[in-house]
Structure 1
Amino acid sequence: MTRPLIALAALSLAIPAFAAPAPLTLTLEQQAEAALDKDENAYAFVEGLTTEVGPRQAGTEAEARAREWAAAWLRNAGFDNVAIEPFMMDTWVPGDVARARVTSPFAQDLAVLPLGNSAATPAGGIEAEVVFFRTVDDLRAAPAGSLKGKIAYISHQMRPAQDGSHYGFAGPARWVGAGIAASKGAVATVIKSVGTDHHRNPHTGGTSFPEGVTPIPAGALSLPDAENLERMFARAGGRPVTLRLEMNPRQIGQTESGNVVGEIVGRNPALPPLLLACHIDSWWNAPGAFDDGAGCGIIIAAAGYAGQHQPLRTIRVLLAGAEETGLWGSKAYSDAHIGERIAVGLESDFGADRIWRFDSNFRETNPALHKKIAAAVARFGVSSGSDAATGGADLNIVRDQKGALVDLQQDGTRYFDLHHTPDDTLDKIDIVQLRQNVAVWTQVVGILANEETAILTGGPIPAAPAIMQGQ
């Protein structure tokens, strides 16, 4: 797809220059403290992106506008070597029809959205008996062919958690449920949304189908509607529960996406750079303030502040494209840059609430650096973790290089109330917590950017995080 031309001159008028919160004579520690008190840059970025671009489905015109908007922001903020690095991707779009209705025994409508990579129903929809599976493991245990002509419904028991760990527990209902059901003959799948809120908002997200398995329609019900459906099964007294499902998503073939990159060049450009990552796309159903507009605002603000102190190493930001639909940007960046050694990778992609823990994968191989960072962020209420950092979804290049990673763990208690829903909007951002993110990132990036020696040598090979099984 050819990138649309937009009026960058007009656009740039809406984008403020990077605002330093304090005199440049401050130390790094004082700069971080100043960001904690009065940073406006991270919020300004996410406010502008969500207002001027809005939802940014991967591979679409809206995502292309987001790339141009973000590149203009970086240039105005004084970043060097700003570029858009295009790549091609298989593109799925959600369509404009999503309806679900129980037709027997308790006729009523249910709120539903298609899952990424879902097939379409025939015009007018599919009506079939629903088979209830309390867990994905129950679905796996169903006999081959037992779902022929039926709709599979898959539940779970996800709960809020500060570390977001229940996403790994409940996520398979969405990530692999439809593919398993299709392999057993199901004509469609609906799941209990992988989320923790009780608004009547379905949570979308990607699903997948094994090689050789024909995709089927796959939708997510809002949590209240899913719970209502489960009550219907309990009251049906053995009578079949039937559902009519109609959706019209489609695959539109290869379109163009792209990554946005920019740098603050260090005093010694020969040293491997830091890579700070986020993703610029969102699902179609929300402007993506938490996921991941805030993350991009955080890394850009922190890079700007740390960069005012003339760092030894180059600080590079990567605003990855097409993360939600399959980590396309992360993979493309690794393919294009695998020969360029990265010193350490960090990502912000878990909302905008406060950072509570610091992890690295060099705690054992470079304990002095780990302890230095831990001591520096303790004043912001951040503990030192003992888990090996795995890095965010857009840091494939660092994992491929078996390199150094830092995880700045954000409080995920309310993240899955908003994740992939229409509620992921600007008003959910708490600017005090957002500023704490910027302060912690400024401190950590400033330390790493001035590390003279190799950050990781012979450390553990980080495993990909569970979240990467499906976005």
Structure 2
Amino acid sequence: MKLASFAFTILALFHTPLATFAQAPSLDAEDIKIAEQLRDEALKSSKGYAIVESLTTEVGPRMAGTPGDAAAVKWGEAKLKELGFDKVWKEPVTFPTWKRGVETAEVISPYPQPLVITALGFSIGTAAEGLTAEIKAYETLEDLKNAPDNDAKGKIVFIKYKMKKARDGSGYGPAVSARGSGAVEAAKKGAVGILIRSIGTDSHRMAHTGMMRYADDVVRIPAAALSAPDADLLENMLKRGKPVEVKMTLGARDGQEYTSYNVIGEITGSEKPEEYVLIGGHLDSWDLGTGALDDGAGVAITTAAAELIARLPQRPKRSIRVIMWANEEQGLVGAKAYAEAHKNDLNNIITGAESDFGAGKIWRIDSRVKADALPVAKKIAEIMEPLGISYGNNRAGGGPDLIPLRQLGVSVFSLRQDGTDYFDYHHTPDDTLDKIDKAALDQNTAAYVVLAYLSAQMDGDFGTDIE
């Protein structure tokens, strides 16, 4: 459908005057028809793909606190203005930074071979000459925790646990704890360094980076992830019963404090502009790939959905706000800053949803709304059924950057993407544009446009103190 014809069809569906909000949350039949038109138009738009192509080509890697981060902020502002958002602004976010530096490893004995590693975010570096020590292997983080005192004294701990592939990404939680706190637990056992099997589901010889944390009262040791094939290689060497000695060299170091920004674009509502539906994705990425899946796709999907609504001849009742969050990767820093800045305005947030799980097709929608708004949530899901999406439950998380707002009682939705292959690429050099399927991205945009539009138009609300 051509844009002029699309706009004419939508104009014919608008009803006046606007109805007064009913006590029980509800959807108007004509708004549902408009949502269906928007859904079908999104499947033909491919606007989202153009946006993520622009971000990955013109900016590329954008780790928090780097020149790529600053370039991404400028790109985000310019893109939102170019796409016709009514308001575009920035909100500052300040945080410490980290520099990667050199990262190499090799088996010294008994079978000398190179290894592929990457430093974990905020790891300290080794001495310039590197760190050489014998490997001490543990199956899981729990095995390491339960080991005797000084069990790894003077050694490099190796955690072997292999993440399991799952459509919903449920294998991530049991695996990622080794990345987050492995260095602390290894140091408690006397280790001088730690290597973990990458938190990923691929067999490529690429290591997966990601954040780790130290504890103030525990000595800091260098921490890195091994590619899956190299983790297998170490396991095979260890099976031969001989001591395995490894040298690792990391140039990682802390950087200076830095101020970045949450970049925000708004389609301003025609009736209650102070109330808004919040959608978005995080603008930062790790430095190894171009951040196409994590989270250029999420930025693109939600921006494209709002832009499609902006094409309508009349603005929706409420505003639709797209947030390109700052520094999600290093601890939801932008999300926490936004929640703090807007904590006295929570009643104006109708609901929120973040896209941050790649670009696979959405297969389920979950809600977190008050009981009498469940029929509206389920009706929204029903309108998504032609996209292959069904309703799940009322226990949505909303996405990582919505955790701070959700914990303050804001209603959220989760549009569950198929993440079967997501962790093949997550936090690796392989997170690039070619992994995105245009049709799947359009399906995502179609789902978000339905949610955003109907949430902005609904009579009543989803609740403001949701547990």
TM-score (norm: length of structure 1):
0.90
Change in Cα spacing, 1:458 to 1:60, as seen in structure 2 (3 Å) is: closer
Equivalent residues in 2 for 1:10-409, closer than 5 Å:
23-24=6-7, 25-26=9-10, 27-36=34-43, 38-95=44-101, 97-235=102-240, 237=241, 239-269=242-272, 271-309=274-312, 310-341=315-346, 342-362=349-369, 364-409=371-416
Equivalent position of 2:460 in the other structure: 453
What is the total number of aligned residue pairs between the two structures? Answer: 438
Q: Is the 8 A contact 1:277 1:318 kept in 2?
A: yes
Query: 1:332: Cα distance to partner?
Result: 1.0
Q: Which residue of 1 aligns with 2:16?
A: none
Distance 1:229 1:211 in 2: 31
354-363 or 21-30, larger mean C-alpha shift: 21-30
SS across alignment from 2:239: helix
Does the 8 A contact of 1:21 with 1:34 survive in 2?
A: no
| Contact 2:285/2:329, CA 8 A, preserved across alignment | yes
Q: Provide the secondary structure at the position in 1 that maps to 2:336.
A: helix
SS of 2:405 mapped into structure 1: helix
* Counterparts of 1:20 and 1:242, CA distance in 2: 65
Contact 2:161 2:197 in 1 (8 A): yes
Q: Structure 2: which amino acid aligns with 1:208?
A: R
Give distance in 2, aligned partners of 1:378 and 1:28.
13
Closer, same or farther in 2 for the Cα pair 1:221/1:177, shift >3 Å? Answer: same
Contact 1:129 1:240 in 2 (8 A): yes
**Bigger Rg, which one:** 2
CA displacement, residues 143-175 of structure 1 (integer Å, 9 cap, x when unaligned)? 222222110001213121110000012111211
Deviation per CA, 1:412-470, whole angstroms, max 9, x where unpaired? 001000100100000110001111101111111111110121212554x2xxxxxxxxx
Letter in 1 for 2:359: A
Counterparts of 1:365 and 1:214 in 2: how far apart (Å)?
52
TM-superposed CA distance for 1:369, in Å, is 1.0
Partner residue in 2 for 1:9: none
Greater alpha carbon shift after TM alignment, 25-34 vs 378-387: 25-34
State TM-score, norm by structure 2: 0.91
Unaligned runs of 5+ in 1: 1-18, 462-471
Q: Taking structure 1 as reference, are residues 259 and 21 closer, same or farther at Cα in structure 2, changes over 3 Å only?
A: farther
Q: What is the CA distance between 1:277 and its match in structure 2? A: 2.2
Q: Distance in 1 between matches of 2:375 and 2:137?
A: 53
Q: Quick check: 404-413 or 253-262, which moved more?
A: 253-262
Per-residue CA deviations over 1:342-367 (Å, capped at 9, x if unaligned) read: 11110000001100000001273422
Structure 2: tracts of 5 or more residues without a match: 11-33
Give the C-alpha shift of residue 21 in structure 1. Answer: 9.3
Could you say what secondary structure the match of 1:442 adopts?
Answer: helix
Name the SS for the 1:84 alignment partner. Answer: strand
In the alignment, the residues of structure 1 paired with residue 179 and residue 171 of structure 2 have an alpha-carbon distance, to the nearest angstrom, of 13
Partner of 2:26 in structure 1? none
Offset from partner CA, 1:238-282 (integer Å, 9 cap, x none): x21111000101101311221100100011235521111210011
In 1, distance between residues paired with 2:438 and 2:331? 30
Offset at residue 20 of structure 1 (A): 5.4
Give the direction of change, closer, same or farther, for the CA distance of 1:365–1:184 in structure 2 (3 Å limit). farther
Aligned-partner Cα distance in 2 for 1:401–1:274: 16
C-alpha contact (below 8 Å) 2:85/2:310 kept by paired residues = no
Q: By how many angstroms is 1:84 displaced? A: 1.8
Amino acid at match of 2:153: K
Q: What is the DSSP-based 3-state SS (H/G/I as helix, E as strand, rest coil) of the residue aligned with 2:377?
A: helix
CA offsets, 1:20-57, max 9 Å, x none?
59621333311211211x22211111101110111001
Structure 1 or 2: more helix by fraction = 2
The answer to whether the 8 Å contact 2:105/2:115 transfers is: yes
CA change 1:210–1:60 in 2 (3 A) is same
The 1:20/1:130 distance shift into structure 2, 3 A limit, reads: farther
Contact 2:162-2:175 within 8 A present in 1 as well: yes
